[in-house]
Amino acid sequence: IGFPTTMVQQRAAKTRSRTTLSFVFAFLGLLLFINQIAILIELKFDNNDEKDFALRLEGMHGNKQEQEKEERSKKTKAKGKPSGPPDGYFNHFPVYYQDFKEGFHSNAHCIGDNFGEEAWKFRSCHFQNLCFDTEDREFVMFTSPEQHKLEEALEKPQSDTFWTASSKNTSVSVGGMNPKWNDEHKLLKWYPTLRDANDDLKSQGGYFMLQTDKVLIPWHSMAGHNPGHLVWDDFLPLYKLITAFDLIDKDMVLIRYDLTLAMWAGCQRQWEKCRPILKKFLPLLGTHLNMTSSQNDTSLELVVDGEQLSRKSKYVCAPNGAAGLGYLTDHFKSYHGWHPDDYKMALNTGRGGQMYQFRNWMVDNVYEEKRDERKISKAPYRIIISSSSSDKAPRRVSFNHLATNIRYRLGHKYELDIKEVVLHTMSIKEQVQLTADAAIFISMCGGGAVTSMFLPKGASLLLYYTAAGHGRHPNTPARLDWDLLNNIGYIRVHWLPKPRQMFLKPTVGQNENRNDDLDFVLNLLDHELDIISHFDDYK
């Protein structure tokens, strides 16, 4: 019995259709494969160089990562809400009035607890709806009914072994810890004041809200009059804080927190010294001095017209807030390298990658856009000689005649661009521009050497230190900031004892070891320049 003719024809047609589709898909796949091969061949043979081929592929991958980073940042900025004309400005940041609604409350997520009495020094917190009372000059969190119930449960005797990431008994250190402070360090113990939204905020009728692309941060500067302390004991902890909670793409709204008793090294006591340093270096954080204040001199300027006359509140809130710098400093409990015991513990081991990201973040903030760095292996090779980098006599050094000796010994072998500078006379953008393309940086160690952070990957840093008799601990060397600098993975760091007479012209009766010191430095520079000239060969 055969199938009807129409059914046979239909099946044959379906078979032909499937066959045709198979050929079409196979042909399209072949075209795609050929296209990919053509791209690879074009990449490989444009310069007929396998190394260049690999570098271009790496560049494509790197560019993709940078594009993704930029797109992520743009999306973060684009979704900053509320939007539109602001109702006022808090320290020059736009704020928008929000009517009070039932259910508005704050939350906290704290990390770093070690379950000890001094856990507050290690702890950092991320806040949601962190508010600032512009009349009482205090930071405020509004608790939820659920938080109240949790606190009641935690107050029961059997709950003393429970630990939560959010509790009203939590506290943090509002600033970096200085190991030289004694009991006064307890003044840094801090947490926002807790209030009931239905009792307090409701009576205000509403609040002013910062945009979602901002993060409100109270902080206390440990010793902001010193560039090294400012960058490594204030800015680095702030960077660690916002990266810990994935807030890196948000603009920081910084409020310096004045204590009830001013610390001897802090900006609260030495504001006239801190002010010019903060003004110079705050662009590294993507902000400016006029956009910061202490909690006692914040400004809330309202746009007063029409219906906005009735929109008043003493509260300014932020969708995101963060606090807790404590032991996020570069040196933890040690003294930077003044004492022999300082070298027994290294805090920054394995953090070289984080330091490089910190460096790139600061450079991008200064330029306010992504910049392309020149290849370090290409001549001319810039050598920066930083003189008078400290106001302390043992480290206030002028590298006289060093540049002349370098040119005389190495100028015929390498194309050199030697810059003799006094960095404290330059703006921070000028310092970054100078250093970001340098091959070698020469300086005395200490706070003035902080600019070396902006050296590019593959560069070399030569640091002179005061040897026996010049440190604060008798007869011991002071390799200041050794822990951080020795763990920066993107630059090569060398330590040299400061010669008694540096590099003066030869005179009768001079120190016999001076020429040996000079020979060593020149041989070291020759060695480093050779490595740098071939740096891109190893990528």
The CA-atom distances, in angstroms, between 104 and each of 128, 144, 200 are: 11, 8, 12
Same structural domain for residues 246 and 371? no
- What is the mean pLDDT of the segment spanning 97-119? 92
Same structural domain for residues 362 and 475? yes
Same structural domain for residues 124 and 224? yes
Cα 434 → chain centroid: 20
Which of 24, 43, 78 is at the close of a domain? Answer: 78
Angle between helices 236-244 and 352-367 (to 10 degrees): 100
**Beta-strand runs (E) in 53-134:** 88-90, 93-99, 107-111, 124-133
Residue 16 within a domain: no
Same structural domain for residues 287 and 199? yes
More confident residue, 350 or 340: 350
Same structural domain for residues 42 and 171? no
CATH number, domain of 486, equals 3.40.50
This prediction has a pTM of 0.81
What span, in angstroms and rounded, lies between the C-alpha atoms of 319 and 81?
10
Among residues 234, 191, 177, the alpha carbon closest in space to that of 322 is found at 191
Residue 332 within a domain: no
Which of 78, 112, 131 is at the close of a domain? Answer: 78
Same structural domain for residues 503 and 450? yes
- What is the mean pLDDT of the segment spanning 375-395? 80
Among residues 225, 245, 249, 255, the alpha carbon closest in space to that of 110 is found at 245
Same structural domain for residues 209 and 119? yes
pLDDT digits 0-9 by tens, 213-239:
999 999 999 889 999 999 999 999 999
Specify the number of domains making up the chain: 3
pLDDT of residue 339: 78
pLDDT digits 0-9 by tens, 69-103:
555 555 455 557 888 899 999 999 999 999 999 99
361 in Cβ contact with 249 (< 8 Å): no
Same structural domain for residues 388 and 432? yes
Same structural domain for residues 197 and 286? yes
pLDDT of residue 532: 96
What span, in angstroms and rounded, lies between the C-alpha atoms of 219 and 138?
13
Same structural domain for residues 266 and 184? yes
- Structural domain containing residue 185: 99-155+162-323
446 in Cβ contact with 480 (< 8 Å): yes
Same structural domain for residues 222 and 149? yes
Which of 271, 305, 323 is at the close of a domain? Answer: 323
Q: Under DSSP, is residue 252 helix (H, G, I), strand (E, B) or coil?
A: strand
What span, in angstroms and rounded, lies between the C-alpha atoms of 145 and 94?
31
440 in Cβ contact with 459 (< 8 Å): yes
Side chain identity at 202, as an amino acid letter? Answer: K
